[in-house]
Chains A and B, each alone.
Chain A
Amino acid sequence: MDYTLSVLVENHPGVLAQISGLLSGRGFNIRSIAAGETEDSTITRIIMVVAGDDRVIDQVKKQLDRLVVVIRITDLSEIPSVDRELALVKVSSTISRRAEVFQIVDVFRAKIVDIAHKSLTIEVTGVSEKVEALIEMLTPFGIKEIVRTGKISIARGEAVAEKGGESRA
């Protein structure tokens, strides 16, 4: 199963390398990782999706928490959350098939963000399953390139990740 962790870390150079190095060095499997500054500029939030069972995730959380640069870990798999991913998909498309692509893009409420004689670039936002579904629908046209951000998540309602969910191990 996939687990989504929201990890608050010190906004220092090398912190992302430290986190990804720890996870790879210990043989954990990261599906995606997305990092960005938070409302506090000294803190970076990393949203990571990690594959494994309960025991693996327990170790991931404890190992991360042991790092001095890690301030707090919230397991978003344990609380209701809004999840989003953004993808840019470049597909082959000659003039004759453009209309078909437009229709699919419309159904998925995606956007055409770039157009050329032989290609179209589509921007899609949504849960990972939606992004997957769109990519599948576009595959027959010939996908030239895909760029995905990885999942970002935020707790629903009043809860904020720093206070809800996981207590410090």
Chain B
Amino acid sequence: MRMPGAKMVVEALKREGVEVVFGYPGGTIMPFFDFLHREDIRMILNRHEQGAVHAADGYARASGRVGVAVSTSGPGATNLVTGIATANMDSIPLVLITGQVPVDMIGNDAFQEADIIGISRPITKHSYLVLDVEDIPRIVKEAFHIARTGRPGPVLIDLPKDVSVAEGDFTYPEEVNIRGYKPILNGNSQAIKRAMDFVRRSKKPVIYAGGGIITSEASAELTAFARKTGIPVTLTLMGLGAFPGTDPLFLGMLGMHGTVAANQAVSECDLIIAVGARFDDRVTGRVSKFATKAKVVHVDIDPVVISKNVLVDVPVVGDAREVLQEMLKLAEPLPIDSWREELMAWKRENPLTYRQDCPVIKPQYVVEKIYELTGGDAIITTEVGQNQMWAAHYFLYDHPRTFLSSGGLGTMGYGFPAAIGAQVAFPDRVVFDIAGDGSIQMKIQELATAVLNELPVNIAILNNGYLGMVRQWQEFFFDKAYAFSCLGQRPSCPRHCNNPNGECPPYVPDFVKLAEAYGAMGIRVEHPEDVEGAIREAIQSPRTVILEFLVTREENVFPMVQPGAGINEIMIG
């Protein structure tokens, strides 16, 4: 069938089963939107392209499907960049479609021209500049395939305007065959046998699992493997929900803000079984002090991450689910009762905790209450910083795809648009963005998107008036000089103020009025006894809600491992 290129893209999206697109129109991408709005694909009009790509990312993380974001050329495309990098670091499947100036204008510094292929090359899994309209069906098919298979990631298609209006023949390919791209799924059986020999011989094993479990839908296999063998589990930030947070074998998150039990376990163990995790620096702390007594079995679909940061004794390249299924067949209960008892004692004696020692709301208390009042049945997104760590600590995630957070890139402004994407994927679920007052302002304009699309997203702002994690580091490592981390600072303030008190000028913005200005509901909560009622009201409300909690200003996230220290050198506050 002959049709214009832009229509081919829309047709191809339909063939890929795309039900929703997040985007923002503009000059070069108008032909695409013209055809899209004649079709039965939902389009969420965000208020900034970065919001669109984060929303597509939140949709992808919550649903397991490929997220799609569309923008125009030039500034539309460059506004996608932070979102693409966020998805790339966390291996999230996205297809990005950008308009481009006509082919013969490329390189001319044309109006709204940017070399988005060049700009995005290091932060995409792959990209295409479409030069021939006849290539569109193959390119879209390949883009979706590459985005969701192997180690997933963002794939960008740059579509020049003249190509999108040129006519060509639309035949959608049945299969993909890319000679340079053949991900290995099933692990080598010898390697798996060898890995299981290490498991059997070990006396103090620990499972360290990450986001790869969620990507490959391997939570059931991981849980079965841990329960069958009796091996305790620690998860990375990206892995939260991959193993039930309420399971007795769960030690908590490990790393810089990991639990004492998890960090001690990794430091004292004789075997680390790493699955779908990449020994990131926030996990290992100083590598030379990381797990010095342990052998390492590493299962990952991406050979690059094996022996990149930590030398591995048994590498198994493959899909986490397929490999765990094979490992499970060879698994048997291990006689490691005393080791497990030791870990359980560490866990019991060092719970995550905070002191309710003042009449002001504690941020941790807010997260605890959200957990309690939702019964743990909610999708939580986070911004970045202290809010993110408290959301990781005080909400126990029993299911995958319920904790959505920018782990690798650490993108402030991620949480709210991601919550919009998650709510679009699951209209009936309770969705909370646990935010800081700094982060939320980075993508606050998405309030219009949430309100107009009638999405009952709840935003819980833990307002301490600071960029809290920056302030925490300044307190510990910069002699308590709060340089530019106070969000209330005005010229009338003392220049080197590090003493927040009753004299501080009024906070800007007034989040309640801001919510109301957008047609959302705004509730300010100032006292601990009002926290519960406000959260209940938000959950029950069919509207977009901002809950602003005025929390203790100088609360710190503990436990904490100082940068450069070993992860067993823990500050517990």
Chain A residues close to B by CB (< 8 Å): 9-10, 13-14, 17-18, 21-22, 25, 55, 58-59, 62-63, 65-71, 168-169
In the complex, the answer to whether A67 meets B308 with C-beta atoms within 8 Å is no
Residues of B within 8 A of A13 (CB): 129
Residues of B within 8 A of A68 (CB): 125-126, 146, 178, 180-181
Q: Flag whether B355 is at the interface (Cβ < 8 A).
A: no
Residues of B within 8 A of A18 (CB): 121
How far does the Cβ of B540 sit from chain A's closest Cβ, in whole Å? 47
Q: Flag whether B307 is at the interface (Cβ < 8 A).
A: yes
**Contact of A21 (CB < 8 Å), options: B121, B179, B307, B308:** B121
In the complex, the answer to whether B303 meets A67 with C-beta atoms within 8 Å is no
Q: Flag whether B375 is at the interface (Cβ < 8 A).
A: no
A-B contact count (CB 8 A): 42
Most chain B beta-carbon neighbours within 10 Å: one of A21, A62, A65: A62
Q: Flag whether B502 is at the interface (Cβ < 8 A).
A: no
Q: Flag whether B494 is at the interface (Cβ < 8 A).
A: no
Once the chains are docked, how many angstroms separate the CA of A17 from the CA of B115? 13
In the complex, the answer to whether A25 meets B122 with C-beta atoms within 8 Å is yes
How far does the Cβ of A106 sit from chain B's closest Cβ, in whole Å? 46
In the complex, the answer to whether B122 meets A58 with C-beta atoms within 8 Å is no
In the complex, the answer to whether A71 meets B303 with C-beta atoms within 8 Å is no
In the complex, the answer to whether B118 meets A17 with C-beta atoms within 8 Å is yes
In the complex, the answer to whether B181 meets A62 with C-beta atoms within 8 Å is no
Q: Flag whether B167 is at the interface (Cβ < 8 A).
A: no
In the complex, the answer to whether A168 meets B182 with C-beta atoms within 8 Å is yes
| A-B CB proximity, top 10 nearest | A169-B303, A68-B126, A62-B304, A71-B180, A68-B181, A62-B303, A25-B122, A70-B180, A71-B179, A68-B180
Once the chains are docked, how many angstroms separate the CA of A65 from the CA of B317? 14
Once the chains are docked, how many angstroms separate the CA of A14 from the CA of B117? 9
Once the chains are docked, how many angstroms separate the CA of A77 from the CA of B364? 56
Most chain A beta-carbon neighbours within 10 Å: one of B179, B302, B308: B179
Once the chains are docked, how many angstroms separate the CA of A134 from the CA of B126? 44
Residues of B within 8 A of A67 (CB): 126, 180
> Do A21 and B122 form a contact, CB below 8 Å, given A14-B117, A62-B304, A169-B303?
yes
How far does the Cβ of B117 sit from chain A's closest Cβ, in whole Å? 7
Once the chains are docked, how many angstroms separate the CA of A63 from the CA of B146? 16
In the complex, the answer to whether A10 meets B303 with C-beta atoms within 8 Å is no
Residues of A within 8 A of B317 (CB): 169
- Can you show 17 pairs from A to B with CB atoms below 8 A apart? A14-B118, A14-B129, A18-B121, A25-B122, A58-B307, A65-B303, A66-B302, A66-B304, A67-B126, A67-B180, A68-B126, A68-B146, A68-B178, A68-B180, A69-B180, A168-B182, A169-B303
Residues of B within 8 A of A66 (CB): 302-304
In the complex, the answer to whether B304 meets A59 with C-beta atoms within 8 Å is yes
How far does the Cβ of A26 sit from chain B's closest Cβ, in whole Å? 9
How far does the Cβ of B315 sit from chain A's closest Cβ, in whole Å? 10
14 more contacts with CB within 8 A, not counting A9-B180, A62-B303, A68-B126, are: A14-B118, A17-B118, A17-B121, A18-B121, A21-B121, A25-B122, A59-B304, A59-B308, A65-B303, A68-B146, A69-B126, A69-B180, A70-B180, A71-B179
Chain B residues close to A by CB (< 8 Å): 117-118, 121-122, 125-126, 129, 146, 178-182, 302-304, 306-308, 317
How far does the Cβ of A159 sit from chain B's closest Cβ, in whole Å? 20
How far does the Cβ of B187 sit from chain A's closest Cβ, in whole Å? 14
Most chain A beta-carbon neighbours within 10 Å: one of B146, B304, B306, B307: B304
In the complex, the answer to whether A63 meets B180 with C-beta atoms within 8 Å is no
Residues of A within 8 A of B181 (CB): 68
Q: Which residue of B lies closest to A25 (CB)?
A: B122
Residues of B within 8 A of A59 (CB): 304, 308
How far does the Cβ of B261 sit from chain A's closest Cβ, in whole Å? 32
How far does the Cβ of A83 sit from chain B's closest Cβ, in whole Å? 26
Once the chains are docked, how many angstroms separate the CA of A62 from the CA of B306? 10
Q: Which residue of B lies closest to A58 (CB)?
A: B307
Q: Which residue of A lies closest to B153 (CB)?
A: A66
Residues of B within 8 A of A168 (CB): 182
Once the chains are docked, how many angstroms separate the CA of A66 from the CA of B150? 10
Q: Which residue of A lies closest to B308 (CB)?
A: A59
Once the chains are docked, how many angstroms separate the CA of A51 from the CA of B477? 37
Residues of A within 8 A of B117 (CB): 14
Residues of B within 8 A of A169 (CB): 303, 317
Residues of B within 8 A of A17 (CB): 118, 121
Q: Which residue of B lies closest to A61 (CB)?
A: B303
Once the chains are docked, how many angstroms separate the CA of A18 from the CA of B117? 10
How far does the Cβ of B480 sit from chain A's closest Cβ, in whole Å? 35
Residues of A within 8 A of B182 (CB): 168
Once the chains are docked, how many angstroms separate the CA of A71 from the CA of B178? 9
How far does the Cβ of A121 sit from chain B's closest Cβ, in whole Å? 34
How far does the Cβ of A56 sit from chain B's closest Cβ, in whole Å? 11
Once the chains are docked, how many angstroms separate the CA of A47 from the CA of B303? 22
Q: Which residue of A lies closest to B304 (CB)?
A: A62
Residues of B within 8 A of A69 (CB): 126, 180
How far does the Cβ of A151 sit from chain B's closest Cβ, in whole Å? 24
Residues of A within 8 A of B303 (CB): 62, 65-66, 169
Once the chains are docked, how many angstroms separate the CA of A22 from the CA of B123? 10
In the complex, the answer to whether B180 meets A10 with C-beta atoms within 8 Å is yes
Residues of B within 8 A of A58 (CB): 307
Once the chains are docked, how many angstroms separate the CA of A10 from the CA of B142? 15
Q: Which residue of A lies closest to B178 (CB)?
A: A68
Once the chains are docked, how many angstroms separate the CA of A9 from the CA of B179? 10
How far does the Cβ of B458 sit from chain A's closest Cβ, in whole Å? 39
Once the chains are docked, how many angstroms separate the CA of A58 from the CA of B303? 10
